[in-house]
Amino acid sequence: MNIECGTATHRSGSRSSWTPARSLGTSGTKESMATPTDPTTHTGALRARAEEHLRALAGDSARLREDQWTAIHALVADRRRALVVQRTGWGKSAVYFVATALRRAQGAGPTVIVSPLLALMRNQIAAAERAGIHARTINSANTTAWEETYAEVAQGRVDVLLVSPERLNNPEFRDRVLPALAAGAGLVVIDEAHCVSDWGHDFRPDYRRIRSLLHDLPEGIPVLATTATANERVTHDVAEQLQAGADRANTLVLRGALDRESLRLAVVQLPDPTARLGWLAEHLPTIPGSGIVYALTVSAAEETARFLREQGMEVLPYTGRTDPDERRSAEDALLGDRVKALVATSALGMGFDKPDLGFVVHLGAPQSPISYYQQVGRAGRGVDRAEAVLLPGREDVQIWEYFAGLSFPPEETVRQTLAVLDEADEPLSVAHLETRVDLRRTRLEQMLKVLDVDGAVRRVRGGWIRTGRPWSYDADRYAQVRAAREREQRAMLDYIATDTCRMEFLRRQLDDFEASTCGRCDVCTGRFWPTEVGTGRRRAAADHLDRPGTPIAPRRQWPTGMATLGVNLSGRIPAELRAGEGRALGRLTDIGWGTELRRVLAEDAPDAPVDEHVLQGVVRVLASWEWANRPVGVVAMPSLTRPKLVEDLAARLASLGRLAPLGSLSYRTARGPGARRHNSAMRLEQVYSELVADPELSSRVARLQEHTPGPLLLVDDVVDTGWSLTVGAALLREAGAPEVLPLTLASSGG
């Protein structure tokens, strides 16, 4: 493979703001450069037109970088396939917008951009429209507009069509729209192309379908792939995949230096979550501009946002759990500088474009230096200085280990899934597959997407089918990917501890051939952020983190397909059997109580009564619980792993609260429900067949309700899928309890 590297040099004025431009002939009118052999496609004339379009996009002072021009020439004049690996803010979108204008002027069809996030799509569409380029998008959020968009494409009124990668395997889009769209495209763009590679830090199975899309493209349609975060291995992998079906020269790879001259990288090592939250509240107001505070988990992001608001800062949470309309509103608030920061998970990632973002602070370290480089790259694109501060935590490694458990399933599980589909005489939905395959829904869906890319299964109307094509489990590759992830984690720890230039460290992780000391980071300058936190801020952070209690939402619907498992449960859970909203002391992923709970509930922790600190935390949860009716009794869940802990906790709460100690639910057999299942359907089948309220317990519940009617507390150690508590509550409701309120030490969610 020929790797052709260009030199990306900064040109003054290249960051000018977008300005409205004249129409670019969006009706498809042919101009003078109708074919690649036309003399106006030669270097001088073509570059002059490219520069003209760039000025329409980015202002009169804008000039093409040499690698931008090299890529545009390859796409427009040579109809090649090109991969551009350049830092954020370099101007990759200018390449495909200018190439689009030139290709449309040739009479070519619209540019199809495969783009991963709605935030990116909105930014790109707005920029394109201001430049006179008519752009449309097809994604799950605008289904009502699809038919109108298809009609506009057919009429030649669309210059750029942005498509989310998930659309590529939507049966209707894949079978009805995609073939004609691909055949008539003037340019195909794969944005954030590192997602194509399972070696990449943000691999997405849907992106792997792009290989099939490229394989089926007619000859002569140029392809551009862009990313800011690909090391040499990922670059080679993506470049090879870009060659799918291409009878032409090898992919042109333009890989530039990845230095970010505006970024001031720093690490602040603090002893505990209290110090980190206090530091954030104390120093965030001193950093100029607005920015992003990244957290590793949903609960940490939400908790941090609450604390900073309590401290008088205008911040908003932004996670995968945030309502889509609220997410859009939060993005707009940050873009308009109406908030100091968004406190976000990686859900706010690729494609968010605010050139004057003043800072990115990480509360906890990402799993790899490459992910970290990408996230800090949100800042400082259009300003001279931006702060990138990492506040690592001792719990980071545990969180990495949790996410590592979500990797591709073992071969036995995959084979079982294929066997189930082989035996089915109709497509099976994910909900029905859950009754036969022990994987959580999100992980099951991810596995099916990979198998789809590999050709072993296919998504059709109604679900998934087996294709009949042979398939082999690439254990060596999966093991190598896992090993690569472990190396990345070790490298992230090395970044935290390094006594050499931080930017050079990150650039070397990305195999940047020009990596050198930056002269700007805390190590290079010797100027380190202070680690002291004022007494008031530290006390406020401690009080916030010590505040116990998180809701446990009741299950309202039985899983689909339970009859397959011999369980006659379907539809809505009757109101008279449903649990009430419960409480947990904290989430295992919390930055406050989570640390203590992970210690108490670790697999190797002894089964013993909880210590006084944890007990008093639970008591405070009860004291702050605004229930309509005070509980009158306590029932323990049976536990095979922590019976002493659960029974002692229930008994002490009954004593402290002067509630009736009613005993425990029980299992039918000594083995109980067996090893914990991961998905809802299988876990429900386990506990439904084993969990019982014996006659003695039922009698005690009935007698209590005769004399002192009221709710019961149902006590357990951890809530995961929620089905044990759901079935337990139903049994107690059948025994006469008017309401059952689950109470656990921990929730595994978030």
Query: What pLDDT, in 10s, does the model give residues 133-174?
Result: 898 888 766 777 778 888 888 888 999 988 888 777 677 777
* Better-scored residue on pLDDT, 30 or 541: 541
Tokens (6 digits) for 233: 């291995």
Is the pLDDT at 660 greater than 50? The verdict is yes
> 14 in a domain, yes or no?
no
Is the pLDDT at 489 greater than 70? The verdict is yes
Question: Once rounded to an integer, what is the mean pLDDT over residues 2-17?
Answer: 32
DSSP summary character for residue 611:
P
Question: Once rounded to an integer, what is the mean pLDDT over residues 729-745?
Answer: 97
Is the pLDDT at 8 greater than 60? The verdict is no
* Better-scored residue on pLDDT, 598 or 266: 266
The answer on 215 and 307 residing in a single domain is no
Q: What is the pLDDT of residue 389?
A: 98
* Domain boundary pick from 255, 284, 313: 255
**Residue range of the domain that includes 172:** 39-255
Report the range of poorest mean pLDDT among 173-182, 639-648, 697-706: 173-182
* Domain boundary pick from 255, 274, 294: 255
The answer on 281 and 249 residing in a single domain is no
Q: What is the pLDDT of residue 667?
A: 95
> 130 in a domain, yes or no?
yes
For the chain, how many helices (H) and strands (E)? 28, 23
Give the H/E segment covering residue 747. Answer: strand 740-747
Give the C-alpha distances (Å, rounded to integers) separating 242 from 136, 197, 223, 329, 453.
24, 11, 8, 36, 15
The answer on 466 and 360 residing in a single domain is no
Alpha-carbon dihedral sign for residues 655, 656, 658, 661: negative
Q: What is the pLDDT of residue 427?
A: 95
SS3 label, residue 729: helix
> 592 in a domain, yes or no?
yes
> 10 in a domain, yes or no?
no
Report the range of poorest mean pLDDT among 36-45, 296-305, 577-586: 36-45
> 22 in a domain, yes or no?
no
Q: Yes or no: say if 389 and 264 are a contact pair by the CB < 8 Å rule.
A: no
Dihedral, 540, 543, 545, 551 alpha carbons, nearest 10: -120
Q: What is the pLDDT of residue 406?
A: 59
Is the pLDDT at 17 greater than 50? The verdict is no
Q: Yes or no: say if 742 and 553 are a contact pair by the CB < 8 Å rule.
A: no
Strand ranges, E, within 394-497: 457-460, 463-466
Q: What is the pLDDT of residue 205?
A: 78
The answer on 251 and 267 residing in a single domain is no
pLDDT band at 30; cut points 50, 70, 90: very low
Q: What is the pLDDT of residue 195?
A: 85
DSSP 68-135: HHHHHHHHHTS--EEEEE--TTS-HHHHHHHHHHHHHHTT---EEEE-S-HHHHHHHHHHHHHTT--E
Percent of the chain at pLDDT exceeding 70: 91
Give the C-alpha distances (Å, rounded to integers) separating 645 from 161, 600, 648, 729.
58, 10, 5, 20
The answer on 155 and 278 residing in a single domain is no
Give the H/E segment covering residue 653. Answer: helix 643-657
Q: Yes or no: say if 335 and 347 are a contact pair by the CB < 8 Å rule.
A: no
Report the range of poorest mean pLDDT among 37-46, 268-277, 554-563, 701-710: 37-46
Is the pLDDT at 120 greater than 70? The verdict is no
pLDDT band at 249; cut points 50, 70, 90: low
The answer on 225 and 358 residing in a single domain is no
Question: Once rounded to an integer, what is the mean pLDDT over residues 200-227?
Answer: 83
> 8 in a domain, yes or no?
no
The answer on 96 and 49 residing in a single domain is yes
Could you give the number of structural domains in the chain?
4
Report the range of poorest mean pLDDT among 116-125, 386-395, 464-473: 116-125
Question: Once rounded to an integer, what is the mean pLDDT over residues 632-640?
Answer: 96
Q: In whole numbers, what is the pLDDT of the chain averaged over residues?
A: 87
The answer on 352 and 501 residing in a single domain is yes
The answer on 693 and 564 residing in a single domain is yes
**Which phi and psi angles does 528 have, rounded to 5°?**
-110, 145
CATH of the domain at 720: 3.40.50
> 143 in a domain, yes or no?
yes
Q: Yes or no: say if 259 and 228 are a contact pair by the CB < 8 Å rule.
A: no
On the CB side of 119, CA atoms within 13 Å amount to 22
CATH of the domain at 169: 3.40.50.300
On the CB side of 11, CA atoms within 13 Å amount to 21
The answer on 563 and 527 residing in a single domain is no
Distance CA 46, CA 58 (A): 18
| Residue among 307, 446, 290 nearest 363 (CA) | 307
Question: Once rounded to an integer, what is the mean pLDDT over residues 456-481?
Answer: 90
Distance CA 328, CA 115 (A): 17
Q: Yes or no: say if 68 and 94 are a contact pair by the CB < 8 Å rule.
A: yes
Query: 557 Cβ partners below 8 Å, 6+ apart?
Result: 571, 572, 573
Distance CA 455, CA 461 (A): 17
Dihedral, 332, 335, 339, 344 alpha carbons, nearest 10: 80
The answer on 653 and 614 residing in a single domain is yes
Is the pLDDT at 262 greater than 70? The verdict is yes
Q: What is the pLDDT of residue 634?
A: 98
pLDDT band at 123; cut points 50, 70, 90: low
The answer on 604 and 530 residing in a single domain is no
DSSP summary character for residue 197:
-
Burial class of residue 643 (count of CB atoms within 10 Å of its CB; 0-12, 13-18, 19+): middle
Q: What is the pLDDT of residue 2?
A: 32
Tokens (6 digits) for 51: 């520069």
| Residue among 589, 594, 601 nearest 641 (CA) | 601
Distance CA 490, CA 487 (A): 5
Report the range of poorest mean pLDDT among 104-118, 332-346, 414-428: 104-118
Report the range of poorest mean pLDDT among 6-20, 104-118, 375-389, 625-639: 6-20
Question: Once rounded to an integer, what is the mean pLDDT over residues 559-564?
Answer: 89
Is the pLDDT at 273 greater than 60? The verdict is yes
> 483 in a domain, yes or no?
no
Report the range of poorest mean pLDDT among 89-98, 653-662, 697-706, 719-728: 89-98
* Domain boundary pick from 224, 255, 286: 255
Is the pLDDT at 26 greater than 50? The verdict is no
CATH of the domain at 437: 1.10.10.10
* Better-scored residue on pLDDT, 621 or 352: 621
